[in-house]
Structure 1
Amino acid sequence: MSSSNPTPPPSEASGEQQEWTPNPEVMKQLTAMGIDQKDAENALFYTGNSSAEIALGWLFDPGQSLEGEEPPPYEATGTHTNTYKMVFVVNSELEMGVGKVAAQVAHACLELYRTVQRSRHTAMLMQYGSSHDGEMKIVLKGDNVAQLEELASKATALNLPNCIIQDAGRTQIPAGSKTVLGIMGKVETVDQVTGQLELL
Structure 2
Amino acid sequence: MSEEADKFVPDKDLLAALIQMGINENLAKEALFCTGNKSVDDAINYIVNNKDERNELGRCEDSGKGMQDSSDADWEDQGLANYKMVHVVNCSLKMKTGKIAAQVGHACLGLYRSMFKENQEELNQWEELGEKKVVLKGNDAEHLKQLYHKAISEGLPAYLVRDAGHTQIASGSLTVLSLFGIEEHVENITGKLPLL
| Paired AA for residue 151 in structure 1 | L
Query: Which of the numbers 169, 172, 178 marks the counterpart of 1:176?
Result: 172
Q: Deviation per CA, 1:140-184: give whole Å up to 9, x if none.
A: 000000000000011001110010000000000000000000001
Query: Which of the numbers 157, 176, 183 marks the counterpart of 1:161?
Result: 157
Match of 1:72 in 2: none
Shift of residue 80, structure 1, vs aligned partner = 4.6
- SS of residue in 2 equivalent to 1:165: strand
Q: Give TM-score scaled by structure 2 length.
A: 0.60
The ranges of structure 1 where at least 4 consecutive aligned residues each deviate by more than 3 angstroms after the TM superposition are 61-64, 76-82
Counting only pairs closer than 5 Å after superposition, residues 68-107 of structure 1 correspond to structure 2 as 79-81=78-80, 83-107=82-106
Shift of residue 62, structure 1, vs aligned partner = 7.1
Output the CA distance in 2 between the equivalents of 1:78 and 1:100: 41
Listed as ranges, the gaps of 5+ residues in structure 2 are 2-53, 58-74
Match of 1:6 in 2: none
Counting only pairs closer than 5 Å after superposition, residues 1-200 of structure 1 correspond to structure 2 as 63=56, 79-81=78-80, 83-118=82-117, 120-131=118-129, 134-200=130-196
Q: Identical aligned pairs, as a percentage? A: 45
Output the CA distance in 2 between the equivalents of 1:182 and 1:195: 14
Change (3 A) 1:122 1:88: same
Output the CA distance in 2 between the equivalents of 1:188 and 1:194: 10
How many correspondences in the alignment?
Answer: 127
Output the CA distance in 2 between the equivalents of 1:109 and 1:96: 18
| Paired AA for residue 172 in structure 1 | Q
Q: Deviation per CA, 1:114-134: give whole Å up to 9, x if none.
A: 11114x322111111122xx2
Output the CA distance in 2 between the equivalents of 1:81 and 1:181: 25
Q: Deviation per CA, 1:69-107: give whole Å up to 9, x if none.
A: xxxxxxx97845560010000000000000000000000
Q: Root-mean-square deviation (CA), in Å?
A: 2.3
Listed as ranges, the gaps of 5+ residues in structure 1 are 2-60, 65-75
Output the CA distance in 2 between the equivalents of 1:152 and 1:168: 20
Change (3 A) 1:62 1:85: farther
Output the CA distance in 2 between the equivalents of 1:109 and 1:78: 29
In terms of fraction of residues, the more helix-rich structure is 2
Q: Give TM-score scaled by structure 1 length.
A: 0.59
| Paired AA for residue 160 in structure 1 | L
Output the CA distance in 1 between the equivalents of 2:101 and 2:79: 31
